Structure 1
Amino acid sequence: MHYKDKEIQLQYQGFSITKPLWINTLNKINQFTDLQLINTFKPKVLLHDNLRLGKLVEQFIFYQLAANQNIEIILENIQVQNGNITVGELDGIILQNNIPIHLEIVYKFYLYDATVGTAEMEHWIGPNRRDSFNEKFQKLRKKQLPLLYHEKTRELLAHHDLDVNTIQQKVYFKAQLFPHLNDSNKEFPLINNDCISGFYIYLKELAQFKECKFYIPTKHNWLVIPHTNVKWLNFDAFKADLSIFLEKTISPLCWMKKPNGTLLKLFVVWW
């Protein structure tokens, strides 16, 4: 079974308009910029439904990279081995305007919970509270980016006539952010506020939207910009479907259509 062409284009378009989580540099980690976005995605290989969302996003990004005339992809998804042990993996080595760059790719959905941690970076957490922006950022800083300088990485890249000391490091870190409904108009100083894509609410707050219609997209379609061509649920049917997710401690991303036709994205959280 493979993707319907129209569905994957909508996923690609939603991915493409997602903004970088910060502008330029955050704590000495540089965002990858100056990438010309391509309107239509044409996969080189068949993409299957069981492809993880993160891997789908990688396909989108490498497609965009390959389509840019000033970029050459040298290596992608490079396994660094020490004998039979995998030391780690580099997402990609590219040349941009003949400058070698080690590129790490991240695409995340984060919700803002001020009760977690003590600083803004710690307040952005995954929908199910199992990960956070701070955890991912520290993993990039302490593990993924330093992997470039590992002895075995140096050996591997030397076979491609690459000297790690000449390679710049950047991340392509995009995110959709969802503050609580009450924080919808709040400005967040550290992150790019253009990443805010909707809001989240608790189940007890859902009743205020009982005149609205709802839709629960599949995980891959979390990327998609809401549109009207779906099977909308009324409030009662939506609550019944929603309860299945919440009982499994899963916070689903949902679409909401207001009586005036406005379309919104929101999470209803189990916690």
Structure 2
Amino acid sequence: MCNNQQRYIGFLNTPHLWKNVPIKGLQQFSMVPTQIPFHTVVAKNMRLGKLVERFVSQQLQHDSRLKLLAENLIISKNKRTIGELDCLFTKDGQPYHLEVVYKFYLYDSSVGTSEIDHWIGPNRKDSFTEKLDKLKTKQLPLLYRDETKPTLKQFNLEANHIKQCVCFKAQLFIPYGLKNHTFKHINPNCIVGYYYKLKEVSQLTHCKFFIPKKLDWLSKIDIQINWLTFKEFTPLLQVLLEQKRAPMVWIKTPKGHTKKGFVVWW
């Protein structure tokens, strides 16, 4: 089982999902990596997305170029929450609004018509395209709503003077056996492994396995764990797949090499 420091290092080592060329007008903001230990106390049941926001907060606070103004600003209308601004900060006097995203996507060419359309969540409940659309139509435009003006005024800011950007990181998984495929729009360094259908897992009978809990999906593989044999692993896997839950699995080959993957129910 990993701790938050290991998860933080895993987050730092995850590349941005795209590099310098914006996707759908969205520009990545690059922060200076910091290896300062993560000691912030967080709730044990914190969701992965919220934990990642804490990691970004640490980076912002320890980047000498930046001044962090506020985080997780709740915007309300008639006492009803309509959204949240992840981060406000300044760099060389220029104010920024940053939205933070960390995703796990699998490549399925049967979905949609473009490379970006093909990246979907492990359980087919979300997609890269849907997240981009949400950023473009809901999360980033929140800055310009009338309901946000009083919050910005607390920091002597006006929306039209603020630059917007994202910190969008991801771990990507491609179909088992896919080789020599060129991806034009995403950062290939985000590809960390394969995903397998149940029948393909039978080709890994010689390997050992571990099913990490979701927060540990962030981490690099911890080899000091209780690895399962294929026989021990299979019943646990079948229960998850019957529930239509595609787990991340850590795999160790007979030669001791380790790799991440997903096993899908679809």
1:246-269 CA deviation, whole Å, 9 max, x = no partner? 111000000000111110000000
Match of 1:113 in 2: 108
Q: Tell me, yes or no, if the aligned pair for 1:212 and 1:234 is still in contact at 8 Å.
A: yes
* Letter of the structure 1 residue corresponding to residue 79 of structure 2: N
Match of 1:28 in 2: 25
Match of 1:132 in 2: 127
1:69-121 CA deviation, whole Å, 9 max, x = no partner? 11111111011112212221111111122210000000000000011111111
Is 1:102 the equivalent of 2:97?
yes
Equivalent pairs counted in the alignment come to 265
Is 1:93 the equivalent of 2:88?
yes
Q: Which runs of structure 2 are paired with 1:122-271 in the superposition (5 Å)?
A: 122-271=117-266
Match of 2:4 in 1: 8
Q: Tell me, yes or no, if the aligned pair for 1:73 and 1:95 is still in contact at 8 Å.
A: yes
Q: Unpaired runs of 5+ in structure 2?
A: none
Q: What is the rounded CA distance, in whole Å, between the counterparts of 1:79 and 1:29 in structure 2?
A: 22
| 1:183 aligned counterpart, secondary structure | coil
1:206-231 CA deviation, whole Å, 9 max, x = no partner? 11111011111110000111131110
1:21-78 CA deviation, whole Å, 9 max, x = no partner? 1112112110011x1111143333x222200011111111101110111111111101
TM-score, scaled relative to structure 1? 0.95
TM-score, scaled relative to structure 2? 0.96
Deviation at 1:154, TM superposition (A): 2.0
Q: Unpaired runs of 5+ in structure 1?
A: none
* Letter of the structure 1 residue corresponding to residue 207 of structure 2: C
Q: Which runs of structure 2 are paired with 1:44-55 in the superposition (5 Å)?
A: 44=40, 46-55=41-50
Q: Tell me, yes or no, if the aligned pair for 1:41 and 1:63 is still in contact at 8 Å.
A: no
Residue identity (%): 44
* Letter of the structure 1 residue corresponding to residue 11 of structure 2: F
Match of 2:63 in 1: 68
Deviation at 1:132, TM superposition (A): 0.2
Is 1:17 the equivalent of 2:13?
yes
- C-alpha RMSD of matched pairs (Å): 1.3
Q: Tell me, yes or no, if the aligned pair for 1:41 and 1:60 is still in contact at 8 Å.
A: no
Q: Tell me, yes or no, if the aligned pair for 2:8 and 2:38 is still in contact at 8 Å.
A: no
Q: What is the rounded CA distance, in whole Å, between the counterparts of 1:228 and 1:91 in structure 2?
A: 34
